[in-house]
Amino acid sequence: MGTNDQTRSLPRGLRLVALAGAAALTLTAGLATPLDPAPRQARAADDGKKVLTVAVAQSVDSLSPFLAVRLLSTSIHRLMYEYLTNYDPKDNHAVPGLATKWEPSPDKLTWTYTIRSDSTWSDGKRATAEDAAWTFNKMMTDDGAATANGSYVGNFEKVTAPSPTKLVIELKKPQATMTALDVPIVPKHVWEKVSDFSEFNNDKSFPVVGNGPFVLTGYKADSYVRLKANKSFWRGAPKFDELVFRYYKDQDAAVSALRKGEVSFVAGSPSLTPAQADSLKGADDIQVNDAPGRRFYALATNPGAKAKNGEKFGDGHPSLLDQRVRNALFMAVDREAIIDKVFRGHAVEGEGYIPPRFQDYFWKPSASRKLAYDPAKAAQLLDRAGYRKNGDGKRVGKDGKPITYRVLCHATDPNDKAVGKYLQEWWGDLGIGVRLDCLDNVTDPWLAGKYDLAFDGWSVNPDPDFVLSIHTCGALPATPKDTGATDNFICDKTYDELYARQLAEYDPAKRADIVKQMESRLYDLGYMNVMAYPNAVEAYRTDQIKSITTMPAKAGNIYGQDGYWSWWSAVPADSGDSSGGSSTAVVAVIATSLVLLIGLGTVVAVRRRAGADDRE
């Protein structure tokens, strides 16, 4: 028999393990209640600090401003570093940031910025024009440093800092976007020590030297980003002492955390779902901010992908080259139903390319030109274009085969999948088949032009240049092997001429007028069919945040603003018991001893019982 001393003790040992396990479970379970007095008031940490906790769903890609492209990371950089200019929270016009004044030369090619003298880095050194010049020059000369924001300096000829308060940027061509350079200015004396910009993530030593309203003090991947208020911020110190971005992979978890007071704010990615918003509306001490968003949600059509050298590639359906077909397809999309059923009212029906939130640039088609929902007319249009139904009720292409469009959709976006189901039925009624290609990563077929239609959407900046630029011929890839900045390979001469004119137009009103003409052109072409402008749906606890600035000030969003207004302006709710730093400790001690007692008791009790079992 192999059973001797060694094995004899096995069962008893295991039993002990079981007991320990059970005890551990009771222990942790017991801990729960006392440690978590439901909705915690204003999150007063140990020393009475006011902490603002924001639930985010995105993980940080990099904390280096030269590498970061995700919204969360760039928002954090807004808080850590001053940019040359900022946007007014009321109406988005450019306001002073690190620069107090700016002026173009008469030939439109030289911009001179006056740098403020009252901004200091968190290590005590003054922030100067030299820092700004160094940042831009680094991006112009080092490929690694140009990774994220290189496009801003593409048209720069030369950047110099003749004095600590004067920054001069010389351009190759006139550029109207010089007050919208969203580039974090970093301290030269810290960053010049970095050897490889493509690998440095700025997340090893804390606090990170900066001059924004907050200073980065801690980061743990996929857990949290922690910032503390910069008391010497030139615009004035933030009202909260600490700002924490906490990572919730699951949006439901984030919403529940808000409900319980674990976090003060939930942004959602990109927004809360209608069900979540509706359920939060009824909750105590929670304010749902349902504001016009800055995004448009569109159906992009493949216009036959081609490169600048004229080479064609991809395999978009040839029938889509006919404007009548594109218009007919869009006329069979019931946008009201999408707003009503998919967004459940948390969106505005799409019209022009730029959302109404940016009122200066907003354009919409006149009633007569509008491609309103009209399936019967859509069917006629298709008939006229020569795509008639065959015996099975399917419309056939010029090649004689029934038409089935491949619609590229983002597997991670519920709206894409939902609208896709509607498209299948609406277009199915027209006699056109739809195959939804839902992928985690749509980049590849997208860049290769291997799709027919695609769900598309962009967040629009206060300066619309970027979202306009992605539809110019200049944005096409040089050859099929390159990657262009183009969104979906649109290349239209009329549009391009207008684009060039607006970029060189330094008068805002005239520029806005040209931009509207561009939108009108885009609408008629039918390659970008804007279905909706989704609202920013977010929520916060009113017992933790008393007030917070939205952007635009009336009816605007809080998370992902252009600027640091929301977190900088947030005022903590005054709560009587937020002084209870020490009382939390007391509760914790009592709770722990209680739990230890319970745990011990359980162990003893279970052992007794187990012993009784053994005896039988």
Partner 1 sequence: MTTSTGTAPSPRALARQRRRASVARFWRRYRAERAGLYGLAVLVLCALLALFAPVFVGSDVSSVTEAPGRPMQSPSAEFPLGTDQFGRDLLGLVIWGSRVSLLVGLLAAVLSVAIGTLIGVTAGHFKGWYATVMMRVTDWFLVMPTLVLAIALVTVMSRSLTTIVVAIGVTTWPTTARLVRAQTLAVETRPYIERAKALGGGHWHIMSRHVLPNVMPLVLAQTTLIISSAILAEATLAFLGLGDPTVVSWGGLLQDAREAGAVSAGDWWYLVPPGIAIAVVALAFTLCGRAVESVLNPRLGVSR
Partner 2 sequence: MTADATPALVEERQTAAGPRVRKRSAYPRYLAGKVAGAAVSLLAVLVTSFFLFRLIPGDPVKTMTGGRQVSAEQLAAYREEFGLDLPLWRQFTDYCGKALTGDFGTSYQFRTPVVDKITEALPNTLLLTGTAFVLYTALGIFLGTRSAWRRGGLGDRVNTGLALTLYSIPSFWLGLLLIIVLSVGIGPLPGLFPTGGMESGGEEGFAYVLDVAHHLVLPVVTLVAVEYGQTLLVTRSALLDEMGSDYLTTARAKGLRDDLVRRRHAVPNALLPTVTLIFINLGRTVAGVILVETVFSWPGLGGLFYQALSVPDLPLVQGLFFVFAAAVILMNTLADLVYPLLDPRVAR
End-to-end Cα, the chain, rounded Å: 26
Question: Which of partner 2, partner 1, none has residue 456 at its interface (CB below 5 to 8 Å by kind)?
Answer: none
Measured from the CB of residue 23, what is the shortest distance to partner 2 in angstroms? 10
In this chain, which of 71, 109, 168, 257 binds partner 2, going by CB under 8 A? 257
User: Hey, what are 442's tokens?
Assistant: 């749509």
In this chain, which of 118, 157, 336, 482 binds partner 2, going by CB under 8 A? 482
- Whole-number Å distance between alpha carbons of 575 and 543: 8
- Whole-number Å distance between alpha carbons of 402 and 405: 10
For partner 2, the closer of residues 372 and 588 by Cβ is 588
Question: Which of partner 2, partner 1, none has residue 155 at its interface (CB below 5 to 8 Å by kind)?
Answer: none
Question: Which of partner 1, partner 2, none has residue 531 at its interface (CB below 5 to 8 Å by kind)?
Answer: none
- Among positions 22-51, residues that touch partner 2 (CB under 8 A) are 22, 24-25, 27-29, 31-33, 35-36, 38, 45, 51
In this chain, which of 321, 372, 553, 588 binds partner 2, going by CB under 8 A? 588
Measured from the CB of residue 329, what is the shortest distance to partner 2 in angstroms? 25
Q: Which residues bind partner 1 (CB under 8 A)?
A: 250-256, 259, 272-276, 278-279, 337, 341, 344, 409, 411-412, 414, 417-418, 420-422, 424-426, 436-440
Measured from the CB of residue 35, what is the shortest distance to partner 1 in angstroms? 22
Question: 68-101: string of b/e by CB count within 10 Å (b at 16+)?
Answer: beebbbbbbbbbbbbbbbbbbbeebebebbbbbe
Question: Which of partner 1, partner 2, none has residue 221 at its interface (CB below 5 to 8 Å by kind)?
Answer: partner 2
Contacts of 530 (CB under 8 A, 6+ apart): 296, 297, 298, 350, 351, 352, 353
Measured from the CB of residue 345, what is the shortest distance to partner 1 in angstroms? 10
- Among positions 589-608, residues that touch partner 2 (CB under 8 A) are 592
Residue 307 CA: distances (Å) to CA of 87, 220, 422, 473, 496: 36, 42, 33, 9, 16
β partners of residue 224 = 220, 246
Question: Which of partner 1, partner 2, none has residue 194 at its interface (CB below 5 to 8 Å by kind)?
Answer: none
Residue that has been written with the tokens 């939804």 in this structure: 436
Question: Which of partner 2, partner 1, none has residue 605 at its interface (CB below 5 to 8 Å by kind)?
Answer: none
Task: Give the x/- contact pattern for partner 2 in 152-191, rule: CB under 8 A.
Answer: ----------------------------------------
Binding part of the chain for partner 2, among 92-100, 170-178, 222-230, 390-398 by CB under 8 A, reads 222-230
Asked if 344 and 350 count as a contact pair (C-beta separation under 8 A), the reply is: no
Closest of 128, 127, 114, 118 to residue 85, by C-alpha: 114
- Other beta carbons within 10 Å of 336: 12
Question: Which of partner 2, partner 1, none has residue 173 at its interface (CB below 5 to 8 Å by kind)?
Answer: none
For partner 1, the closer of residues 189 and 417 by Cβ is 417
Q: Which amino acid is at 385?
A: A
> Would strands 94-96 and 85-87 be described as parallel, antiparallel, or unpaired?
antiparallel
- Whole-number Å distance between alpha carbons of 428 and 421: 10
- Among positions 50-89, residues that touch partner 2 (CB under 8 A) are 51, 53, 59, 61-62, 67
User: Hey, what are 162's tokens?
Assistant: 């003749």
For partner 1, the closer of residues 426 and 564 by Cβ is 426
Asked if 265 and 558 count as a contact pair (C-beta separation under 8 A), the reply is: yes
In this chain, which of 95, 194, 253, 555 binds partner 2, going by CB under 8 A? 253
